[in-house]
C-alpha cells in the first residue's frame, strides 16, 4: 500500500467521523482532533476503524503517534512494511 493510498483511507475514515469537514485540508503537523473537532470517544473510534481497515495493531502507548497527519502516516507506513 502506497503512502497516497494510506492517506486516502485515513481521509475517508476521518470524514466518516466528522462528515462536515474536509480532512484533505489538514496541514501535516496540525493536531487532527483539534482541527476537526473530534472528541475522546470519536478519537478512539477513529483508531479502531484504522486498525480494522488496514489490519494493523495500534497499542495504546502508540496513540500519541496518531495526533497529526505527518506522524500518523509515517507510523502506519512503517507498520504496514513490517
Partner 1 sequence: MIKFQMPSLGADMEAGTLVEWRKQPGELLHRGDIIADVETQKGLIEIEVFDEGTLEKFLVKEGEKVPVGTVLALINDGKAEVSESAVPTEETPKPEIHPIEERPETPQEKTEEGERIKISPLARKIAEENRVDISLLQGTGPEGSIVKKDVEKAISEGVKPIQEAQKKTEETSAKLAAPNVNAMRMAVAAAMSKSNREIPHYYLEKRMDMSKAMDWVKEANKERPIQKRLLPVALLIKAVAKALDEVPDLNATWENGLQRKNEINIGFVVSLRSGGIVVPAILQTDSKSVDEIMENLNDLIPRARAFKLRSSELSQSTFTITSIGEGGADKVFGLIYPPQVGIVGFGEISEQPFADEGMLGIRPVVDVTLAADHRATDGLIGSKFLAALNRHLQNPEEL
Q: Least distance to partner 1 from the beta carbon of 27, Å? A: 17
Tell the burial category of 76 from Cβ atoms under 10 Å away from its Cβ (0-12, 13-18, 19+): buried
Question: Is residue 80 part of the contact set for partner 1 (CB under 8 A)?
Answer: no
Chain-centre distance for alpha carbon 26: 11
Closest-CA residue to 58 (of 42, 45, 41): 45
Nearest to partner 1 of 9, 51 (CB atom): 51
Q: Which of residues 51-70 bind partner 1 (CB under 8 A)?
A: 51-52, 57-60
The strand pairing partners of 68, in sequence order, are 31
Nearest to partner 1 of 2, 82 (CB atom): 82
Question: Is residue 34 part of the contact set for partner 1 (CB under 8 A)?
Answer: yes
The count of other CB atoms within 10 Å of the CB of residue 72 is 20
Using CB under 8 A as the criterion, which residues of the chain lie in contact with partner 1 when the complex forms?
Answer: 18-20, 33-34, 37, 39-41, 43-44, 47-48, 51-52, 57-60
Amino acid at each position: 500500500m502506497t503512502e497516497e493510498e494510506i492517506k486516502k483511507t485515513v481521509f475517508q475514515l476521518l470524514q466518516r467521523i466528522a462528515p462536515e469537514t474536509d480532512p484533505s485540508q489538514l496541514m501535516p503537523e496540525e493536531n487532527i482532533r483539534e482541527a476537526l473537532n473530534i472528541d475522546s470517544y470519536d478519537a478512539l473510534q477513529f483508531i479502531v476503524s484504522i486498525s480494522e481497515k488496514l489490519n494493523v495493531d495500534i497499542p495504546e502507548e502508540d496513540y500519541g503517534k496518531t495526533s497529526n497527519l505527518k506522524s500518523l502516516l509515517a507510523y502506519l507506513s512503517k507498520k504496514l512494511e513490517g
